[in-house]
């Protein structure tokens, strides 16, 4: 723990500024979410070549043609899940593991699935080294969900799908929230889906651009 008289490190300062200027200034006010994003060391989730750019207002490459989302998009998606702290959360698209870390700060248990083994393995090593004990990892096709661990109170899909995969709404608890980018390859809209019994309540949050969700119920 940092002594209160010690100055903030360079990266802590960048993180504070990121939260203030990119997230709070754009209207996200949930205190627990802002605090979590001030804690998670985003620069460790990108390669060293990009650590200086890690707190910038943009996505960054993480290898294998994939990206870590822009900080504001990470915040917007998580905000749409309305997490209170006791939830079991499913994330599709572990990627760098950054969003999984923020989710783990805000919920009881995170289940995260990545289809590219090298990314999933690297994220797991990093998150375990950082001391996260409430994240379960799987390599595979997330469009079919994680049936044994369902139902989930919240599901976050961080890749763009042509339509909402049926398995995911089936694995959502009653009252649970799903955040997912839906649309074509160039741009999508972020949808927030709430399950009410057998009915699904859908709302459009904002426009967005994500890498494709590839799998049985995604893109071929």
User: Would you count residue 213 as binding ligand SAH (CB under 6 A)?
Assistant: yes
Applying CB under 6 A, does 158 fall inside the site for ligand SAH? yes
Work out how close the CB of 31 gets to ligand SAH at its nearest, in angstroms, rounded to a whole number: 22
Does position 211 interact with ligand SAH (CB under 6 A)? The reply is yes
Does position 141 bind ligand SAH by CB under 6 A?
yes
Q: Is 114 in the site for ligand SAH (CB under 6 A)?
A: yes
Strand order in the sheet with 172-183: 135-139, 109-114, 88-92, 152-157, 172-183, 188-196, 199-208
Rounded to whole angstroms, the Cα distance separating 8 from 218 reads 43
Phi, psi of 209 (to 5 degrees): -135, 120
Q: Is 118 a catalytic residue?
A: no
Q: Which of 19, 92, 106, 110 binds ligand SAH (CB under 6 A)?
A: 92
Q: Which is nearer to ligand SAH, 19 or 211 (CB)?
A: 211
Beta strands in the chain (DSSP E): 60-63, 66-68, 88-92, 109-114, 135-139, 152-157, 172-183, 188-196, 199-208
Cβ 160 vs Cβ 210: under 8 Å: yes
Of the candidates 14, 69, 150, 158, the residue annotated as catalytic is: 69
Which residues participate in catalysis according to the annotation?
69
Interface ranges with ligand SAH (CB under 6 A): 62, 66-69, 92-93, 95-96, 98-99, 113-116, 119, 141-143, 158-159, 211, 213-215, 218
């Amino acid at each position: 723990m940092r002594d209160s008289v010690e100055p903030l490190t360079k990266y802590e300062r960048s993180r504070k500024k990121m939260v203030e200027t990119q997230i709070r200034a754009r209207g996200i006010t949930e205190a627990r979410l802002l605090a979590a994003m001030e804690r998670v060391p985003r620069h460790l989730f990108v390669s060293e070549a990009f650590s200086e750019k890690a707190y910038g207002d943009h996505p960054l490459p993480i290898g294998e043609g994939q990206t870590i989302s822009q900080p504001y998009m990470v915040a917007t998606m998580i905000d749409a899940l309305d997490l209170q702290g006791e939830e079991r959360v499913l994330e599709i698209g572990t990627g760098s593991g950054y969003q999984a870390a923020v989710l783990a700060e805000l919920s009881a248990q995170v289940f995260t699935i990545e289809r590219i083994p090298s990314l999933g393995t690297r994220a797991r090593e990093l998150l375990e080294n950082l001391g996260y004990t409430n994240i379960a990892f799987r390599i595979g096709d997330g469009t079919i969900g994680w049936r044994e661990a369902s139902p989930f109170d919240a599901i976050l899909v961080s890749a763009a799908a042509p339509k909402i995969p049926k398995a995911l709404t089936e694995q959502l608890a009653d009252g649970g929230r799903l955040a997912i980018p839906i649309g074509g390859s160039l741009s999508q809209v972020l949808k927030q889906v709430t399950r009410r019994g057998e009915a699904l309540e859908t709302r459009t949050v904002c426009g967005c651009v994500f890498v494709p969700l590839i799998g049985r119920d995604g893109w071929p």
